[in-house]
Amino acid sequence: HKTIEGNGYLYPQFYDRTCPKAQEIVKSIIAKAVSRDSRMAASLLRLHFHDCFVKGCDASILLDNAGSIISEKGSNPNRNSVRGIEVIDEIKSALEQACPQTVSCADVMALAARDSTVIAGGPSWVVLLGRRDARGASLSGSNQNIPAPNNTFQTIFTKFKLKGLNIVDLVALSGSHTIGFSRCTSFRQRLYNQTGNAKPDFTLDQSYAAQLRTRCPRSGGDQNLFSLDPVSPFKFDNSYFRNLLASKGLLNSDEVLVTKNQESLQLVTQYAQNNQLFFEQFAKSMVKMGNITPLTGSMGEIRKNCRKINS
Ligand code: HEM
Ligand SMILES: [Ca+2]
């Protein structure tokens, strides 16, 4: 058996000989974590996205401030928002017990994203493995590369294209918003001052908007939580796309998928009608996102503790 080293490719059997229990360990801890806190599936899925869009899927998001490292945890998309890092820590310490310094933190997040999707009722896929962990973080990359909820369609699409993802990936992966929550502060602008002239976003269903205003006032309540998919907030299904067609997308970045681009509207319509089509594309796009510039071979390292680089 020959190992492939440093050629940039990931493959599913990477830990088959060195840590055969790795996938089981990850799965069982995710199951426990989600039974304690059902939102955790969403939070772990998002963590992988916020890692991969910054320097690739290299666990840069997990590093704490230390020495010359400025943590990505303080970026606009992550601050007061990113969750699930303690679960990654718990998985990592179990893996260090079973097979010391073998399984990367970046691979743990890729497996966690898949297992979380499955546990929430979504599709499964084979996770490609062999990513290694970065020895640095990028706060500026985290601020610049991760799309913001008030970005235009064009800006969001450009940020995906810069990561090698296309419009099909953008729409399918946005379907992640079928689970999980958003803070009031991430969409308040739509309720009161969408265009800067003190007018709400009139493309948002007006009774839904009125309902949102009750717990997301003009000022205060910034951290109040709202389900991204009020129909089935913990179930991974295609109701997110049906909400969009009913003008009930929570974030502006959700709504632009149906109001700003014909191709993306067409994809939303297809996924709203065909859950299986959505599931199949979501799985493909997750594999593609998981392949964003991984460190392989002798690049980077296998961290002992996901929060800090090995000394
Ligand atoms: C297309 C551009 C995207 C934008 C602008 C965006 C923006 C956001 C925002 C603002 C929130 C709420 C954060 C908060 O208020 O604390 C959120 C939550 C979430 N996002 Fe996205 N997102 C995008 C794409 C994605 C993708 C590609 C994924 C996964 C592959 C994803 C997964 C999630 C999940 C699961 C949540 C809920 C997290 C939780 O409840 O802890 N999003 N997103
Ligand atoms: Ca990263």
What mean pLDDT is predicted for residues 217-222? Answer: 97
pLDDT of 2 strictly over 50: no
- Whether residue 278 contacts residue 176, with contact meaning beta carbons closer than 8 Å, is answered with no
* Residue 1's pLDDT band (cuts 50, 70, 90): very low
Give SS3 for 203. coil
What's the pLDDT tens digit per position in 157-209? 999 999 999 999 999 999 999 999 999 999 999 999 998 889 999 999 999 99
Ligand 2 ion local residues (Cβ < 5 A) = 51, 54-55, 58, 60
CA of 1 to the centre of ligand 2 (A): 31
pLDDT at position 310, please?
98
Lowest mean pLDDT among 48-52, 133-137, 199-203, 301-305: 199-203
pLDDT at position 195, please?
87
Query: What's the chain's Rg over C-alpha atoms?
Result: 19
Report the b/e string of 61-74 with b at 16+ CB within 10 A.
bbbeeeeebbbbbe
- Whether residue 8 contacts residue 300, with contact meaning beta carbons closer than 8 Å, is answered with no
pLDDT at position 6, please?
60
Nearest CA to ligand 1 atom 5: 149
Can you tell me the distance from the alpha carbon of 120 to that of 42, in angstroms, rounded to the nearest whole number? 8
Question: Of the residues 85, 125, 228, which should be mutated to test ligand 1's pocket, given the most ligand atoms within 8 Å of the CB?
Answer: 228
pLDDT at position 212, please?
98
pLDDT of 5 strictly over 70: no
207: how many CB neighbours lie within 10 A of its CB? 9
Nearest CA to ligand 1 atom 16: 81
215: how many CB neighbours lie within 10 A of its CB? 11
pLDDT of 110 strictly over 60: yes
What mean pLDDT is predicted for residues 225-248? Answer: 98
What mean pLDDT is predicted for residues 127-140? Answer: 98
What structural domains does the chain harbor? Answer: 2-146 (1.10.520.10), 153-287 (1.10.420.10)
DSSP codes, 55-106: TSSSSGGGPPSBTTB--GGGSTTTTTT---HHHHHHHHHHHHHHSTTTS-HH
Atom of ligand 1 nearest to the CA of 251: 10
What mean pLDDT is predicted for residues 138-165? Answer: 98
32: how many CB neighbours lie within 10 A of its CB? 12
Which residues are documented as binding site for Ca(2+)? 51, 54, 56, 58, 60, 72, 178, 229, 237
What mean pLDDT is predicted for residues 98-113? Answer: 98
48 included as an active-site residue: no
DSSP codes, 132-182: BB-S---HHHHHHHSPPTTS-HHHHHHHHHTTT--HHHHHHHHGGGGS-EE
CA of 236 to the centre of ligand 1 (A): 14
Work out the percent of the chain whose per-residue pLDDT is above 90. Answer: 96
pLDDT of 243 strictly over 50: yes
Kindly report the average pLDDT of the chain as a whole number.
Answer: 96
253 CB within 6 A, ligand 1: yes
CA of 147 to the centre of ligand 2 (A): 14
- Whether residue 265 contacts residue 241, with contact meaning beta carbons closer than 8 Å, is answered with no
List 46, 50, 248, 303, catalytic entry: 50
